[in-house]
Amino acid sequence: MGKRSFEILDVTLRDGSHAMKHAFTEEQVRETARGLDQAGVTYFEVTHGDGLGGSSLQYGLSAVDELKLIEAAVEECKSSQVSVLLLPGIGVKEDLQEAVKVGAKMVRVATHVTEADVAAQHIALGRELGLKTIGFLMMAHMAPVEKIVEQGKLFESYGAEVVYVTDSAGYLLPHEVKERIAALKNELTCEVGFHGHNNLSMAMANTIAAVQAGATYIDGSLRCLGAGSGNTQTEVMVAVLERLGYNTGIDLYKIMDVANDVVAKYMHRPQEVTGSSLIMGYSGVYSSFLLHTQAAAQKFGVDERDILVELGKMKAVGGQEDLIYDVAQRFALKKSSLV
């Protein structure tokens, strides 16, 4: 098949966990893992949507222990390798050691875009454990290009082999992705990656911009299964990038088969750009807040778009899920004082 132009890393079994309310079954994971492996994906990610240790009241309880799911995915693979996500503070170093015992071969250590310094020990541990180790700068729209370069350099100095620009809110436009990726490519010696969300229908355009600016790791999910409107659609990305003349190393029919015959069957709903996810992209809100916001809006009888616009103004970041309920309650009180 020749040398791949870049790695397409599939996040269906991790970012998709948000859309599945963290209720993946072992059988769903096994079937998806088998399909990804047969299609020729080098790496795919499995954990709770908020990474190792994410199962909690704050983020949502997992239906099945993530270590069991990681182990099941590993067992299904002949050549693909399983990655885990780790947000320092949500997951701890012991969680990573346990994931390695069941077969994880890659770790992506994720921090808010201005907080790379909290990842030093976790990145060092990833390298010590012999894992492919990646730094993941979330909410990348919230920092100017120079800040992203500064934070990327920190990740690289701790040992990250790839630094990601992560458009957690699906807010970035192609020219903004291009300038961020190009700046990291210029200033870092390690590889650069891109992870997109489709809240403004820009995920594919942003992915193309990232690749053209030099990204060599790009994320996607099957049928877009992910937080908010989901991610760049893996199987479509394969077709588009092959059309552009790149070698993805992935079999198009096989990746389509796992998307349509496996993932489409268990998705709770199609991944669409809805009123709420559109507002997330427009206001720069963390995509993982979607289902929490819908639940809060329902509980307090308020419009979920108002909550999201307010969270955007407050510049709320991952980990502040409790704010969603505060804001919803505030709107409900305001509404009741008006009647």
Ligand X SMILES: C[C@H](O)CC(=O)C(=O)O
How far is CA 275 from each of CA 201, 223, 272, 313, rounded to the nearest angstrom? 12, 19, 9, 18
Q: Tell me: does residue 31 bind Mn ion (CB under 5 A).
A: no
CB of 288 to ligand X, least distance (A): 5
CB of 168 to ligand X, least distance (A): 3
Q: Which residues are annotated as a binding site for substrate?
A: 14-15, 168, 195, 286
Binding partner of residue 263 among ligand X, Mn ion, none, CB cut-off 5 to 8 Å per kind: none
Pick out residues in 233-262 that bind ligand X (CB under 6 A). none
Number of C-beta neighbours around residue 287 at 10 A: 28
Binding partner of residue 108 among ligand X, Mn ion, none, CB cut-off 5 to 8 Å per kind: none
CB of 318 to ligand X, least distance (A): 6
Where does this chain touch Mn ion (CB under 5 A) — which range of 7-15, 21-29, 64-72, 315-323?
Answer: 7-15
Pick out residues in 119-158 that bind ligand X (CB under 6 A). 138
Instruction: Round to whole Å and give the CA distance between 287 and 115.
Output: 19
Q: x-or-dash pattern for ligand X, window 13-52, by CB under 6 A?
A: --x---------------------------------xxx-
* Structure token pair of residue 198: 């489709």
Q: Tell me: does residue 166 bind ligand X (CB under 6 A).
A: yes
Q: Which residues are annotated as a binding site?
A: 14-15, 168, 195, 197, 286
Where does this chain touch Mn ion (CB under 5 A) — which range of 15-23, 126-134, 260-268, 310-318?
Answer: 15-23
Q: Which residues are annotated as a binding site for Mn(2+)?
A: 15, 195, 197
| 48 catalytic residue (yes or no) | no
Binding partner of residue 318 among Mn ion, ligand X, none, CB cut-off 5 to 8 Å per kind: ligand X
Instruction: Round to whole Å and give the CA distance between 114 and 14.
Output: 23
Q: Tell me: does residue 15 bind Mn ion (CB under 5 A).
A: yes
Binding partner of residue 312 among Mn ion, ligand X, none, CB cut-off 5 to 8 Å per kind: none
Number of C-beta neighbours around residue 93 at 10 A: 16
Residues that bind ligand X (CB under 6 A): 15, 49-51, 87, 110, 138, 166, 168, 195, 227, 287-288, 318
Residues that are catalytic: 18
Residues that bind Mn ion (CB under 5 A): 15
